[in-house]
Amino acid sequence: MSDGGDSIHSVAQDVAPERTTAGRPVTGYPAAVERLRAEFAALPADQPVRLAKKTSNLFRPRERSARAGLDVSGLDHVFEIDPERRTAYVGGMTTYERLVDATLAHGLMPTVVPQLKTITLGGALTGLGIESSSWRAGLPHEAALSFDVLTGAGEIVRATPDGPDAELFRVFPNSYGTLGYAAAATIELTPVHPYVRLRHVRFTDLDALGAAIADLVRGAQDGRASWDGEPVDFIDGSVFPTPPDADGPALEAFLTLGTWADNAPYTSDYTGQDVYYRSVRSRREDWLTVRDYLWRWDTDWFWCSRALGVQNPRIRRWVPKQYLRSDVYQRIIGLENRYHVKARMDARKGLPERERVVQDVEIPVERTADFLRWFIDTVPIEPIWLCPLRLSRPAPTADGTWPLYPLGPDSLYVNVGFWSTVPIAAGDQDGDVNRRIEAKVAELDGHKSLYSDSYYEPEEFWQLYGRAEYEAAKRRYDPDERLLDLYDKAVRRR
């Protein structure tokens, strides 16, 4: 039960139907939430619940389920933007593509914009999101002023840092819909400039790369870092373990430093024939519009589109631009996960089975080079993405950490991302490479996002992901266990 939280009616009434955003009337939210609550109430009391969503940015197979799907239509809009306060009131099913289009019209953007266009606001708030602004802005949920949550008890409550449902506010991030679903949220926004200038700074030494990240972030003042005397607003990196040619070094890594700009001598376009990640290695400077910068990785889903052949110029020129995007690739991969066409073809060719290794992990900056050396020696995946991360402010808890993803409030981490498959070696079984990665991350005092495959045993999992706080919130907000348990969803794939 909500124990005094706002009722659905008081939450819904906070959005005035006569207000407008992006030229559209703000209507539909109260009706959509009322429909959601009514559908929940109509379900048999012993029936588990899920959302009726067409897309998902979770990268793990799940058991097919007969659970009812709640109608979330109407919760995929930006209901209100307040340019003066720099806030937005947004439906939980709104994709970041739609959210960014609405906020850019006001010269604003979310503080952190995850890399894939179809990630939803609710998904980023109840899971995790990260991007090149995370070295100063942290994670998406840190910019949330309130969450409107459909709880497992069937109520809509407004969770705020200091309200009656502050407990839910603290444990909602990284709960992945196992305490409730985000119907809407109020989030902070930040100003933008029309362009972003990029500098790709080359390294061949991983220790020097880690030291440069630490110096950049810890030397920042007033939300801006500095490199060679020039300001830096965005930081991410790419590691290429193999040389581009026989004469190249054994390893190349790049820090990509982005700086806001009001003018640009030219702008590049990576939404068509050109591939962004290749430009990191071939250029030292680049210019993008703000929108193209925010979605620079989506056209090729970082580098994952190469597995589908669409980085081949002979194929790419025939693919309409509207199909060069991550959600199209996800649907194709979803079909492969279901029908295993390529896997069967590989088997007929005598090729080994492959293990999916799709992960984002946070490693303390001082130990990032150690992890990268181990990974390059152990896991045949390249390139590798890097993204510095620190909390933008202490969490609203006694120790300043978010209970279900306890990053140190004074610590600097580097997110290491890798997304591919590897052949299953003789004597191994599916999952062994992921288990080794989990063990190495734990050895280095890191953390691992739960959007993809996880293999932890229950005791280890709950030591890492806030068992006491989670179970207390579960008893309060899902007392009849209508929603999945976090371990069941993240590890058992239910």
Tens-place pLDDT, residues 162-215:
999 999 999 999 999 999 999 999 999 999 999 999 999 999 999 999 999 999
Which of these, 119, 159, 156, 118, lies nearest to 139 by C-alpha position?
A: 119
Phi, psi (deg, nearest 5) at residue 303: -120, 10
Peptide bond into 383 cis (omega under 30): yes
Percent share of the chain, pLDDT over 90: 77
- 248 or 470, which is more confident? 470
Decide if pLDDT at 337 tops 90. no
CATH assignment, 195-457? 3.40.462
CA 55 vs CA 58, 94, 329, 390, 486: distances in Å: 9, 12, 12, 29, 20
Return the H-helix or E-strand segment holding 202.
strand 195-203
Task: Grade residue 217 by pLDDT with cuts at 50, 70 and 90.
Answer: very high
Q: Residue 31 has what pLDDT?
A: 83
Return the H-helix or E-strand segment holding 448.
strand 447-448
Q: Residue 63 has what pLDDT?
A: 55
Decide if pLDDT at 402 tops 90. yes
What b/e string do you get for 385-408 counting C-beta neighbours within 10 Å, with b at 16 or more? bbbbbbbbeebebeeebbbbbbbe
- pLDDT (average), residues 66-76: 76
Decide if pLDDT at 378 tops 90. yes
- pLDDT (average), residues 12-34: 50
Q: Residue 218 has what pLDDT?
A: 94
Task: Grade residue 9 by pLDDT with cuts at 50, 70 and 90.
Answer: very low
Q: Residue 62 has what pLDDT?
A: 55
Total Cβ atoms within 10 A of residue 425: 11
- 347 or 12, which is more confident? 347
- 271 or 24, which is more confident? 271
- 487 or 54, which is more confident? 487
- pLDDT (average), residues 436-458: 96
Crossing angle between the packed helical segments 368-378 and 206-218, to the nearest 10 degrees: 150
Q: Residue 341 has what pLDDT?
A: 85
Q: Residue 449 has what pLDDT?
A: 95
Which of these, 104, 50, 97, 106, lies nearest to 76 by C-alpha position?
A: 97
Decide if pLDDT at 11 tops 50. no
Task: Grade residue 243 by pLDDT with cuts at 50, 70 and 90.
Answer: confident
Task: Grade residue 246 by pLDDT with cuts at 50, 70 and 90.
Answer: low
Task: Grade residue 60 by pLDDT with cuts at 50, 70 and 90.
Answer: low
Q: Residue 143 has what pLDDT?
A: 98
Q: Residue 27 has what pLDDT?
A: 43
- pLDDT (average), residues 347-375: 95
Which of these, 186, 144, 147, lies nearest to 165 by C-alpha position?
A: 147
Q: Which CATH class is domain 8-192+462-490?
A: alpha beta
Q: Residue 366 has what pLDDT?
A: 98
**How does pLDDT run across 134-168, given as a tens digit for each residue?**
999 999 999 999 999 999 999 999 999 999 999 99
- 78 or 41, which is more confident? 78
Q: Residue 67 has what pLDDT?
A: 54
Q: Residue 15 has what pLDDT?
A: 40
Percent share of the chain, pLDDT over 70: 90
Domain ranges in the chain are 8-192+462-490, 195-457
**How does pLDDT run across 459-477, given as a tens digit for each residue?**
999 999 999 999 999 999 9
Q: Are 32 and 75 in contact (CB under 8 A)?
A: yes
